[in-house]
Amino acid sequence: MEKDRISDLPDGILHKIVSLLPMRDAIRTAALSGKCRQLGKFIPNLNFESDNIVGRSFSIDRFNELDNDGQVEFLLNRKLKFVGAVDKFFQLRPCAIKMESLRIYSSLDTEHTTYLDQWIRVASSSNIESLDLTLREDDFYHLDEEKYYSFPFHLLPNKVLCLSSLKCLSLESLIMRPHPDFYGFKSLTTLFLRDVNISDVDLGNIFFTSSLLESLRLWACVSLVHLEIPSSCSRLKYLDLSNCRLECVSINAPNVKTFVYKGNLISFSFVKVPQIDHIEFTFMGDCYEWINYVFNKVPQLVPQLESLRLFCGNHIEAESIQYYFPQFTKLKQLTVTHFSSSHHDLLWMIPLLRACPSLEEFHLDLIPECEDHSRYMGEVAKLYPRCPLKRLKTVEISGFNGFWCQIDLASRLLSNADALETMTIDCRDKFQQEDGTYEIYGYYNGIKRCRRRIRRFVTKRVPQSAKLVVL
């Protein structure tokens, strides 16, 4: 039998090629070459994603057209192919070989416990540094919470159960019930839990034994009620809590710099947080109460705050917001994301700006609603006293579509910002993604009318020392 030409390449080149390939291609290459099959065992970073391993036979639209039995059968076959391919790879891999990272991305549950336990056993015994178990595919979500896989703390190595080498841990759609003898993740710096069933007590024990933790994200962990970030998390810098149904949060970590929260208004306690300089709130529920809470309480709780980002999903009337708030004396950057319609004004933002005497940058991300723009050009602007913004240098307004309320706010900013250098008005439609970034997907239909309104009503108010940029 003629020798395959791939095997003629030097080991170093082959190892580099195989290590850079997606796992599906690496497995296929190993099937073609005996030499690659041997080298494939030594790949340090393993990324097993369903689409890369078993492919996608048809689109999500076709999947949604199936009845319940058809979807169950499709997912069952998909899971069987996935666990078969991954398990075969692990059977060929020597346990003593170093594994730097392992990622499992597939909708697996208690029916696959034997496989998952074995893979984690191999990973933990090879001094793994990064472990990602995402046991839910967003496109093909069909997972029963009662069948969530339970993380195998009892399989961790050493007499005292721990993973001393693990630095990054990301878990989704499973259960965490630490073993009584679990000693913790001594080297853990990054922890991300999404849709994980874990109790307040168990999470607190993990905090207590993870003193090197720097980044913590808890998303949709609905079993959590009272969350306390203790002082033992002395290296924690980034804290993100989203959709966890919490009732109260207490932060006593002295080096936290960024705090992100998405959910209903709850009780917050900032005990010793001298380093926090950036906070993001995404309001769920009554935005009026949220705004009044943030601007009445946070200036006293976090007086050193320099950057604040607010996402307001509901419409807000100016009359519902008190006009005078305690001041954010050190706040330099304010970002507001808000739904904008032609019949709701934006003047409720004026008291917010007034409460920030040191403000240098104001970013307003508007999410437009489709309406008849021409109906609302005759509205009379509401009278508001002058609101001096002595240090404001940069204003950026995105999602601008020419509503009178938008023009009114832009005009007031130009009239009150004596030190303004640049105002940027972006007329493009943008979509906010899950990670908070925005994807630009074009201009809305009334772009020409919008730009005419900007030239007619806004341009003439631009001071000579400032510049107006229209995108």
User: What pLDDT digit, counting tens, does each position of 199-241 carry?
Assistant: 999 999 889 888 899 999 999 999 999 999 999 999 999 999 9
* Residues 6+ away with beta carbon under 8 Å from 51: none
Q: Which two tokens stand for residue 158?
A: 């050493």
pLDDT of residue 50: 84
Closest CA to 432 of 335, 359, 342: 335
Tell me the mean pLDDT in the region 90-105: 78
pLDDT tens figures, 243-277: 999 999 999 999 999 999 999 999 999 988 999 99
Residue 217 vs residues 191, 259, 284: alpha-carbon distances, Å: 6, 10, 18
3-class secondary structure, 445: coil
Lowest mean per-residue pLDDT among 122-136, 348-362, 366-380, 399-413? 366-380
pLDDT of residue 160: 43
Tell me the mean pLDDT in the region 156-167: 64
DSSP designation for 382:
P
Query: Where do the DSSP E strands lie in 31-126?
Result: 45-49, 101-105
Tell me the mean pLDDT in the region 417-439: 75
pLDDT of residue 159: 43
Which is more confidently placed, 378 or 329? 329
Task: Establish how many alpha carbons lie within 13 A of residue 342's alpha carbon, considering only the half-sphere containing its beta carbon.
Answer: 15
Q: Which two tokens stand for residue 42?
A: 């030594």
Mean pLDDT rounded to a whole number for the chain: 81
DSSP designation for 326:
-
pTM, two decimals, is 0.84
Contact status, residue 206 vs residue 166, Cβ threshold 8 Å: no
* Cα separation, 287 vs 289, whole angstroms: 5
Which is more confidently placed, 386 or 286? 286
Tell me the mean pLDDT in the region 329-339: 92
Contact status, residue 279 vs residue 259, Cβ threshold 8 Å: yes
Q: Does position 83 have pLDDT exceeding 60, yes or no? A: yes
* Cα separation, 99 vs 101, whole angstroms: 6
Tell me the mean pLDDT in the region 429-439: 61
